Structure 1
Amino acid sequence: MTPGVEEISGAPEVVTCGEAMLLLLAEPGVPLARARRFTGSVAGAESNVAIGLARLGHSVRWIGSVGADPAGDTVLSTMRAEGVDTSRVTVHPTAPTGLLLRDSHATRGIDVQYHRAGSAASTLAPESVHAPLSSGTRLLHLTGITAMLSDSTHRLTRYLIDAARDRGVMISFDPNVRHKLGTPDRWRAVVGPLLTRADLVLAGADELELLTGQDAERAVHTLRDGGVDGVVVKYPDKSAVLTNAAGTRTQPAFPVSVTDPVGAGDAFAAGLLSALLRGVPPGRALAEAATVAALVVQSTTDIDGLPTPAQRDRAFAHLVDHAESVHR
């Protein structure tokens, strides 16, 4: 058996790994410094994608670590309630669960404060995760955030990529650049080399430029020449362009009323990955991804708007086919 892989019945179709944090979200429209009332939720790039895929009907394992504290209890209960496999999550006896505070607004800049230094997730390492992949796992989804948390999480990210490649498991990678985690040079050194290890890269145009030193169009060609099967570039106008062996396709964002834009990228990733896992053609897959993102930006937290398949399909029919929007 391949190291890091175990044979179990009911193996997860998808595996993700990263930090899930307790989210304290300020009342809508109120700047963080003035907020007095907060809504509790869970946030984290990989956990958002895990919940998104689970709601869309996929079996998902999330690998992470939380503290032995109420915030960790909230993270675990939320993930389990969504049907996400938490069997590879560790509870650290002394390190705390990460905390994220932010405000919520449709148009102005959003203030985000991370309290994740020394968190339980930053202690994750290859030796602390037993058999992360299972026979039957089809997809490993990772982001650059995990690699940037600590030296040990960087090693874990590379370990997971190696295990997936040895097993023939598809790897999707979203750099998800967070400038508060490191300098541009540090992001280039740690995350830049990981791009070419993936089968599918989902990145903003600015992220590709930062990580490769090339404009987005040239970076796509470089990644494809380096062995990446498909690259999705997300542009400032919220359009997305997928380039793979079948050609290039563009998907504009759907015109919806935005309540809170945070979480749109993770929602897009969940929608796209679900479509690809189901064998949906690329053009339809991009449209489904944009649909899931459009649903998420119409609610406040990162996960409240994530749809079920029926909700996705109903929204798709309205946004793409202009069907009746009211479900009676």
Structure 2
Amino acid sequence: MLLMLAEPGLPLERAGHFRRSVAGAESNVASGLARLGHWARWIGRVGDDPAGEAVLRELRADGVDVSCAEMDPEAPTGLLLRDSHPQRAIDVQYYRTGSAASLLSPAQITPEALAGVRVVHVSGITPMLSPQAEQATHALVERARQAGAAVCFDPNVRRKLGTSHEWIRRVGPLLREADIVLAGEDELELLLGTGEDEGAKALLTMGRADCVVVKRRDHSAVAHTAEGQWTQQPFAVRVADPVGAGDAFAAGWLSARLRGLDHPRALAEAACVAALVVQAPGDTDGLPTAAARDRALDAFLRGTDSVHR
């Protein structure tokens, strides 16, 4: 979607100035991975309009492959309006009913789109957009299996998209189809009706997951596997805008695992990327390069000079 971000500190209804950016759960992760040095492809739909052109241009600028994105000549690009406050709830207004993104269909999920892919990442937002977007999500999981790619799933629950029952019915089953689950503590409680330990155990034993990462309410994160579990505390930073932290965490985690790093290091890198993002306004402004991530993580862990001289 095109993001219109209100000037910092002002409530949405009082803001007079907005800055244009791009937002979207999966596209945020794609941009994060691309900035960290990975090849990333985004499969999606935007309108054949100026907003759609802006979205694709910004993704290309980050190095994201948009060759499988489609521009819809009839439906518009979705729009997101929100304000930015470090200390109080963010007001978000979505305008995506009938948008190009909501018209994503299984026909767009071709085997060619997933050729050579190692990991497919998708969020629960996509299947909640429309029945055909839900079908496209299931087609994506099936195509990923056929391509030999792991499926990473983040529920990313947004209450404005549906009732609790709708989230449980449409998104809950996808947790059991994922090889990697990145979920909030509250999301597991909603979708599985259990706490962290019980939910992680159920997904590891009865689902396909070999790793379940739970983001706790206190902002710590725990990686659960059959071999054990590891915990990462959040890094103390001054928060400018908390939105986008979950997608940044996902990008940091996937980058580390794609590079063959162990779970403790992956948690640390994920927490570092999330900490960098929340210090900047917008969903993607703070996403780092690999070098910037490494400098920041070294400073967080060892207290080294954070100034790049």
**2:305 maps to which residue?**
324
Structure 1 residues 173-216: Cα deviation after superposition (integer angstroms, max 9, x where no partner): 00000010000000000000010110010000110110011122
| Structure 1 letter corresponding to 2:236 | P
Structure 1 residues 237-273: Cα deviation after superposition (integer angstroms, max 9, x where no partner): 1000000133100001000000000000000000000
Output the CA distance in 1 between the equivalents of 2:51 and 2:112: 24
**2:130 maps to which residue?**
150
Structure 1 contact 88–130 (Cα < 8 Å) conserved: no
Output the CA distance in 1 between the equivalents of 2:103 and 2:281: 30
Displacement of 1:321 in angstroms is 1.4
How do residues 31-42 of structure 1 correspond to structure 2 at under 5 angstroms? 31-42=11-22
> What secondary structure, in the 3-state scheme, does the structure 2 residue paired with 1:114 have?
strand
> What secondary structure, in the 3-state scheme, does the structure 2 residue paired with 1:50 have?
helix
How do residues 183-198 of structure 1 correspond to structure 2 at under 5 angstroms? 183-198=163-178
Structure 2 contact 110–143 (Cα < 8 Å) conserved: no
State which of 48, 59, 62 in structure 1 corresponds to 2:39. Answer: 59
Structure 1: gaps spanning 5 or more residues: 1-20
| Structure 2 letter corresponding to 1:235 | R
Output the CA distance in 2 between the equivalents of 1:100 and 1:223: 33
Displacement of 1:132 in angstroms is 5.0
Normalization by structure 2: what TM-score? 0.98
| Structure 2 letter corresponding to 1:310 | A
Structure 1 residues 15-60: Cα deviation after superposition (integer angstroms, max 9, x where no partner): xxxxxx0000000000000000001000000000000000000001
How do residues 210-225 of structure 1 correspond to structure 2 at under 5 angstroms? 210-225=190-205
Structure 1 contact 23–41 (Cα < 8 Å) conserved: yes
**2:76 maps to which residue?**
96
Output the CA distance in 2 between the equivalents of 1:240 and 1:323: 24
Output the CA distance in 2 between the equivalents of 1:101 and 1:132: 34
Displacement of 1:118 in angstroms is 0.3
**2:280 maps to which residue?**
299
Structure 2 contact 111–147 (Cα < 8 Å) conserved: no
> What secondary structure, in the 3-state scheme, does the structure 2 residue paired with 1:248 have?
strand
Displacement of 1:81 in angstroms is 1.0
Output the CA distance in 2 between the equivalents of 1:29 and 1:167: 46
**1:138 maps to which residue?**
118
| Structure 1 letter corresponding to 2:50 | P
**1:233 maps to which residue?**
214
Structure 1 residues 307-326: Cα deviation after superposition (integer angstroms, max 9, x where no partner): 00000000000001111111
Displacement of 1:94 in angstroms is 1.1
State which of 211, 232, 250 in structure 2 corresponds to 1:269. Answer: 250
The percentage of aligned residue pairs carrying the same residue is 59
Structure 1 residues 96-121: Cα deviation after superposition (integer angstroms, max 9, x where no partner): 10000000011111100000000001
**2:292 maps to which residue?**
311
**1:28 maps to which residue?**
8
| Structure 1 letter corresponding to 2:60 | R
| Structure 2 letter corresponding to 1:147 | P
Output the CA distance in 1 between the equivalents of 2:88 and 2:196: 26
> What secondary structure, in the 3-state scheme, does the structure 2 residue paired with 1:320 have?
helix
